[in-house]
A and B are shown apart, each in its own frame.
Chain A
Amino acid sequence: MILFVDDEPREMSSYVEELRFSGYEVAYESDVDSALKFFAANLDNLDLVILDIMMPPGEALKNRDTEFGLRTGIYMYREFRVQSPDLPVIILTNVSDVQVARFFHQEAKCIFLPKEDVLPYELAEQVAAVLV
């Protein structure tokens, strides 16, 4: 199962539909708190997480320095990694900051994809490559 976390469900609907069309089971969560709960409850069934970076921090991350939501996904990623160091993660984001990109490039089992460059079918291809 794929956990897809992004606070803009309307914008992401074509990506989710494409993944489902390609045969993947996708659980979509649009806020930090529900995503963290879902992750903890379904950890054993998850094959991959697709994660946005710019999201409201919710209750769980409200005391972290997320730059008012601009970097929330970095903290979520770290939470996921603590619980599951080997789970593949695809970062799908509008963030183009070089420091952020470099951080994720250096992470194992992690792919950094700019949203503007990746169409839904291309995301499905990346997912297929990760889940081989």
Chain B
Amino acid sequence: MINTSENQVDAHLNTPDESQYDVNAALFMIGSLAFDPDNAFKDIGLLMEEYGHNISPEVRRQINLRLRQMVISIVETLSKEAHVHRYRDISRIQESLQEQRAKAEIYKRRIQLLAPSTQQEFEASLMWVAEKGKEEDLDLLHQVRKSPPYQADNISALFDLAEQKILVRLHDPQQEMQTAFGLTEAEVALCLLGVGREPVSYQAQQTAEMLKQIKQSWEEQFQPDALKEWFRKPVPLFGGKTPQEAVIEGRAEEVWHILIRLGEGIPY
């Protein structure tokens, strides 16, 4: 299951001499947090059947939820540890930890949506899916809606809103981003991937979301065509780098915040 013992954490994250710190080993260890409880349950289930026991679906769900929550807690603890000790390459470590935390959060929310403990938990999960849900969550929503665990007017409305919001988010293909920012396909890919990111990484997805927000913010405040020019113009707050270069460095959110301030008349 989780290959993260206290000794391993000490060995990789608590090394007193920073120069000895092995970033790749830490990243490998963090990657091991991405375990699959369902596979673990198969092993546990087979073991218990041998002894004449079964794990009920309810107990299984509770354990699954707790394991997800445990991953989030481990990530939060490791992140603080890395931050406090100012480890080398901390941004790569933090990015990797954030990715695991985000994955655990998504799985946890999906479990809660399928089998919530309370109506409040169910509503909270529907709200979360409305804001963060992705294409694959549409199928999940349809499945849950066929036989919802709770029924109320506001729940029906939340189902509608969640579906609408996910569909709106899906309607913004990469082609549109190329046109808006005046970028080639390769340049869009570089913005999303930066240096050394995996295409499906949390960071790449976050950057894609932020680029959509930058585009939307710009179009609400300025002439859409001028975005291409601004995106390549050096900005003092980025040390003379352009917004495009800042995005490639993984600072898309900072670009968005500066754009919002610019729209409010605050110069940079």
Measured CB to CB, the residues of A under 8 A from B are 7-8, 10, 14, 54, 56, 67-70, 94-98, 101-102, 105-106, 116-117, 119-121
Q: Is the CB of B105 within 8 A of A116?
A: yes
Taking the complex as formed, is B23 at the interface, i.e. its CB lies under 8 A from any CB of chain A?
A: no
B144 within 8 A of A: no
User: Quick one: given A14-B73, A94-B132, are A121 and B80 in contact (CB under 8 Å)?
Assistant: yes
| A105:B260 contact, CB within 8 angstroms | yes
**Is B208's CB within 8 Å of the partner chain A?**
no
B120 touches A98 (CB 8 A): no
Number of A-B residue pairs having CB atoms within 8 Å of each other in the complex: 71
A-B contact pairs, 16 of them (CB 8 A): A10-B69, A54-B124, A54-B131, A67-B161, A68-B154, A69-B158, A70-B161, A94-B127, A97-B131, A98-B217, A105-B264, A117-B98, A119-B75, A119-B80, A121-B76, A121-B83
Report how far A105 CA is from B256 CA in the complex, Å: 12
A14 to B75, CA, bound (A): 11
User: Do residues A14 and B76 form an inter-chain contact, with CB atoms below 8 A?
Assistant: yes
Report the bound CA distance from A97 to B213 in whole Å.
8
B interface with A by C-beta (< 8 Å) = 69, 72-73, 75-76, 79-80, 83-84, 98, 101-102, 105, 120-121, 123-124, 127-128, 130-132, 154, 157-158, 161, 209, 213, 216-217, 220, 253, 257, 260-261, 263-264
Given contact pairs A96-B132, A105-B257, enumerate 9 new A-B contacts (beta carbons under 8 Å): A54-B128, A56-B120, A69-B154, A98-B213, A102-B217, A116-B132, A117-B253, A121-B76, A121-B84
Cα distance A68–B164 when bound, in Å? 14
Contact A7 B124 (CB under 8 A): yes
In Å, the complex CA distance between A117 and B256 comes to 15
A106 to B263, CA, bound (A): 10
Chain A CB count within 10 A is highest, among B69, B76, B98, B257, for: B76
Q: Which residue of B lies closest to A116 (CB)?
A: B102
Report the bound CA distance from A114 to B128 in whole Å.
Answer: 13
Within 8 Å CB of B216, what residues of A? Answer: 98
Instruction: Count chain B CB atoms within 10 A of each CB in A8, A54, A67, A68 and give the residue with the most.
Output: A68
Cα-based distance from A103 to B155 in the complex (angstroms)? 27
Quick check: A70 and B154 within 8 Å, CB to CB? no
A130 CB, min distance to chain B CBs, angstroms? 17
CB-CB nearest in chain B for A100: B131
